[in-house]
Amino acid sequence: MILASWRTITWLVRRADVVLEVVDARDPMGTRSRRLERIVEALGRKLIIVINKADLIPREVAEKWKKIFEDMGYTAVYMAAREHMGTRKLRVAIKKAVETRPIIVAVTGYPKTGKSTVINALKGKHAASTSPIPGSPGYTTHVQLYRIGRSMYMLDSPGVIPVEGDRLEAVIRGKPPEQLRDPINPAIELLKRALRYNPRAVIEAYGIRETDPLRILEEIAVKRGWRYKTTGEPNIEEAARQVIRDYHEAKLNFYVPPEEYLEKRRASVEEAWL
Ligand SMILES: Nc1nc2c(ncn2[C@@H]2O[C@H](COP(=O)(O)OP(=O)(O)OP(=O)(O)O)[C@@H](O)[C@H]2O)c(=O)[nH]1
Ligand SMILES: [Mg+2]
């Protein structure tokens, strides 16, 4: 898996008129990068926050996130690039952002947020290669230029891991699950998070009623018949990789509610006043 360096990102932003920061609608704040936003601001480029994978959250939740970003002074749109939903709104937002033609658009953001899929959706044809799992064939390895219609060019880039972003997201998006040295700890964290935000997530994905993450991994391994050859014990590493894959493919389904973010922000503002 090749991740873009901050130098590449700065180079990319410099070349662009408009920068799209693609975030995952399931956790927009955990998959955004303040550092990227600051680079865009410092270079005087227009930033549009694209809340992608909106098909995985209720519409009113997508509306709330959009409003939260707008209240911060950003332009934000939500879309479901894979379902080709919201592409018109995005195209309009890009054209409104600058008057120059043709417009050069840099598409950036966390790994696996759907950057290449956004470009495909705008292109209307399969142009940028996408991949279901980080690092599997089709992942973006270098910056590529695509022409969209007559007046737009898009620069596709590999994902960048923001230093200040969510640590769990960074680990599970940075490498394909097969290449993780320890898949168990991130899978346990992921299961905890899933159960916290959607108590039915594990039942829905696996038909397992257990709430202890380690036991869940064991039950998944037993159900699939994954056992260590030497000891015959359930192969929880294989189960852990599967859980991470299932999050990427949205079979393990949950999302962070905007209310939680607003509450945290309120608490930190109050603390600052004390
Ligand atoms: N449910 C859902 N899945 C999506 C959507 N857009 C993209 N995906 C899926 O997310 C995964 C990653 O998509 P990509 O477009 O390859 O993501 P990327 O940001 O270009 O990834 P890198 O270039 O490797 O960083 C793929 O499995 C896509 O099918 C969407 O709107 N909804
Ligand atoms: Mg890509």
| 2-6: long-range contacts, CB 8 A cutoff, minimum separation 24 | 2/139, 2/141, 2/142, 2/158, 3/111, 3/158, 3/159, 3/160, 3/161, 3/174, 4/108, 4/143, 4/157, 4/158, 4/159, 4/160, 5/160, 6/35, 6/39, 6/160
> DSSP assignment, residue 28?
T
**More confident: 160 or 82:** 82
In a domain, 272, yes or no: no
Out of 11-20, 73-82, 143-152, pick the least confident. 143-152
Q: What is the CATH number of the domain that holds 223?
A: 1.10.1580
172-231: pLDDT as tens digits: 988 889 999 999 999 999 999 999 999 999 999 999 999 999 999 999 999 999 999 999
**For residues 163, 176, 192 and 200, what is the CA-based torsion angle, rounded to 10 degrees?**
130
User: What value does the mean pLDDT of the chain take?
Assistant: 92
Q: Which residues contact 109 (CB under 8 A, 6 or more apart)?
A: 20, 21, 22, 23, 31, 32, 33, 36, 50, 115, 159, 160
* Residues 6+ positions from 194 with CB-CB distance below 8 Å: 201, 202, 247, 252, 253, 254
Res 135 pLDDT > 60: no
Testing ligand 1's pocket by substitution, the residue of 131, 160, 175, 254 carrying the most ligand atoms inside 8 A of its CB is 131
DSSP 8-state class, residue 173: H
Q: What is the pTM of this model?
A: 0.93
Q: Which one, of 204, 194, 200, 186, lies nearest residue 254 by Cα?
A: 194
Q: Please tell me which residue, 219 or 151, carries the higher pLDDT value.
A: 219
Domain membership of residue 81 (yes or no) is yes
In single-letter form, the type of residue at position 75 comes to T
Answer yes or no: is 116 within a domain.
Answer: yes
127 and 27: one domain?
yes
One domain, residues 12 and 44:
yes
Query: Which residues, including other chains, have CB under 8 Å from residue 151's CB and lie 6 or more apart?
Result: 95, 101, 102, 103
Average pLDDT of the residues in 259-263: 96
Range of the structural domain that residue 57 is part of: 6-156
Do 115 and 212 lie in one domain? The reply is no
- What number is the average pLDDT over the span 22-28? 97
In percent, the amount of the chain with pLDDT more than 90 equals 76
The pLDDT of 131-142, averaged and rounded, is: 60
Q: Are 133 and 186 contained in the same domain?
A: no
Q: Which atom of ligand 1 is nearest to the CA of 132?
A: 27
Q: Phi, psi at residue 112, to the nearest 5°?
A: 60, 25
Assess whether 149 and 246 both reside in one domain. Answer: no
Residue range 62-77: mean pLDDT, rounded: 98
Which residue's alpha carbon is at the smallest distance from atom 26 of ligand 1?
132
**Mean pLDDT computed over 10-32:** 96
C-alpha–C-alpha distance, residues 243 and 252, integer Å: 7
Q: Do 146 and 181 fall within a single domain?
A: no
- Rounded Cα distance between 2 and 169, Å, is 16
Give the environment of ion ligand 2: residues with CB less than 5 A: 115-116, 140
Residues 44 and 91 in one domain: yes
Residues 142, 60 share a domain: yes
If one counts the domains in the chain, the total is 2
The whole-number average pLDDT for the span 15-41 is 96
* Nearest CA residue ID for atom 14, ligand 1: 114
- Given a contact cutoff of 8 angstroms between Cβ atoms, the answer to whether 66 and 86 are in contact is no
For ligand 1, atom 16, name the residue with the nearest CA: 130
For 99-122, what is the mean pLDDT?
A: 94
Name which of 53, 9, 14 is nearest 31 in CA terms. Answer: 53
Q: Are residues 147 and 189 in the same domain?
A: no
User: What confidence score (pLDDT) does residue 87 get?
Assistant: 96
Closest ligand 1 atom, residue 130 Cα: 16
Q: How far is C-alpha 245 from the geometric centre of its chain's CA atoms?
A: 14
Give per-residue pLDDT as tens, 83-103: 999 999 999 999 999 999 999
Residues with CB under 6 A from ligand 1: 52-53, 55-56, 80-83, 111-117, 130-132, 139-140, 158-159, 250
Looking at residue 164, its pLDDT comes to 76
Confidence band of 139 (pLDDT split at 50, 70, 90): low
- 125 in a domain, yes or no? yes
Specify the pLDDT at position 274. Answer: 73
